Amino acid sequence: MSCEPVAGTARDQPEGGLGVDQARRHFVDRAITADSYHGITPFVDGLSGKLSGVQWPFRGDDSGIELLLLNEAARAMQEMRIPEIVTGVGIKNKSQFQSRGDARRTRSVAASMERRSLEINHTLARWGRWAQLLSAMSTRQTIHLLTGCTAVGKTELALSWAEENDAEIVSCDSLLFYRGMDIGTAKPTKDELARVPHHLIDICEPSERMDIARYETMARETVSEILARGRRVLVTGGSGFYLKAFLAPVVDGINVTDETRAKVEEMALSEAVTTLKALNPDGLGTLDRDNPRRVTRALERCLASGKTLLQLRADFAAQPSAFADYEIKLVELVRDPEVLVQRISQRVDAMLAAGLVAEVEQLLPRNLQVNPSAALSIGYREVIAMLAGELPAESLAEKIAQNTRALVKKQRTWFRTQIPGHLTVDAAVAKPADLFPED
């Protein structure tokens, strides 16, 4: 009769050839019988690629990852049918059997199941943090974000990385949504779109307004579908507000009725501010009272929710990001400022040579101007002003370049202040492999 301790047997058992249920039970037993850090580290290091499909004995909840209670481990061991120890040939009593066990490695088989359960519970608690990390690594999927200011050179690097990593591209550029706005937005060409599947490009008419709530819903559905196909996700674009949808909450979920919106729109700015002050006895905080759009939005939400701005801000800050259940890896492409100035001038010249003025002339009959987000975007607003006789034709290129430089300055400030601590890569020398080096 063998007297080898059960823990030693479990620890030394080869993992090859195990079915899912067997592998799962083997994992539980290996984890709970390790008697020291050194006993568990070799097992953890050897996990990669061996337990795909195994249901881990841990789970997550809203506050993070937590250990599943003892019943999972106990049930797994019960399924292994560890027998009770009885006296027999070569063993006079249980005490003698215990003395032959290796006390340094684990508990002996002679321990009662009740004692074993208590020790399992203690060990799981000891290795709780390790279990949390292992569970998180095994369940969270990754979204790769590649951003950078206008004219930095995102398109080619994004295409090359996606090709090399079996990825699909999701746009977070606020102007690529609109059909027909191609030249002035530097939208990927047909050949570039054919290289890698792209999403959330050309999804609405230039007269149709796009908002962050709609984008967030569409982006989440798109990401889920791409990952379900077994491919990677690369989100790319330089629009900070849409990029932030992947990093933090951006939608408050308050439903403003058409009636409330119409009521607020009828108010002059001074009346709206006065009404807002009456609804907020604790003050308006940092709200820009001279900005009609922000005052209007604030008043609409106070009226619709019945809450003050301070309460609304607290509620908003407490809610999770729509992508909180994904691991986010973000890289910002950068270039020398003087080089960017040159690239912006070249970009504007190329757009005008490609027919930007003709593109705007074709968009105007499609009600481009009813959508401020589109009509007031750089490149389009200057051409509209020129066509209206408000800007000399000879000043068009410089005006577009000037406004683009101002935009780039704002973008760089936003990246620095809104997403601190992220990886930056010099686009001038970057290769696809440099973008996400930890993959």
- CA dist 116 and 91 (Å) reads 21
- CA dist 41 and 125 (Å) reads 17
Radius of gyration for the alpha carbons in the chain, expressed in angstroms and rounded: 30
What's the farthest any 2 CA atoms get from each other in the chain? 108
Report pLDDT for 386: 98
Report pLDDT for 73: 39
Residue ranges of domains in the chain: 6-139, 141-249+322-435, 258-318
**Mean pLDDT, the chain, whole residue set:** 78
Residues 299, 264 contacting (CB under 8 angstroms): yes
> Is residue 421 pLDDT above 50, yes or no?
yes
Report pLDDT for 439: 75
CATH tag, 258-318: 1.10.20
Confidence of residue 325 (pLDDT cuts 50, 70, 90): very high
At 213-235, the pLDDT tens digits run: 999 999 999 999 999 999 999 99
Residues 427, 148 contacting (CB under 8 angstroms): yes
Percent residues over pLDDT 70 in the chain? 68
At 395-410, the pLDDT tens digits run: 999 999 999 999 999 9
Report pLDDT for 93: 52
Fold of 141-249+322-435: Rossmann fold (3.40.50)
The 3-state DSSP class for residue 156 equals helix
Query: Could you tell me the pTM of the whole model?
Result: 0.65
At 89-120, the pLDDT tens digits run: 444 554 544 445 544 444 444 445 555 555 55
| Between 175 and 14, the higher pLDDT residue | 175
Residue ranges in 364-438 assigned as alpha helix (H) = 372-375, 380-387, 396-418, 432-435
171: region left, alpha or beta (phi > 0 left; psi from -120 to 50 alpha): beta
The 3-state DSSP class for residue 144 equals strand
| Between 190 and 1, the higher pLDDT residue | 190
> Is residue 427 pLDDT above 90, yes or no?
yes
For 197, counting Cβ atoms within 10 Å of its Cβ (0-12 exposed, 13-18 middle, 19+ buried), the class is: middle
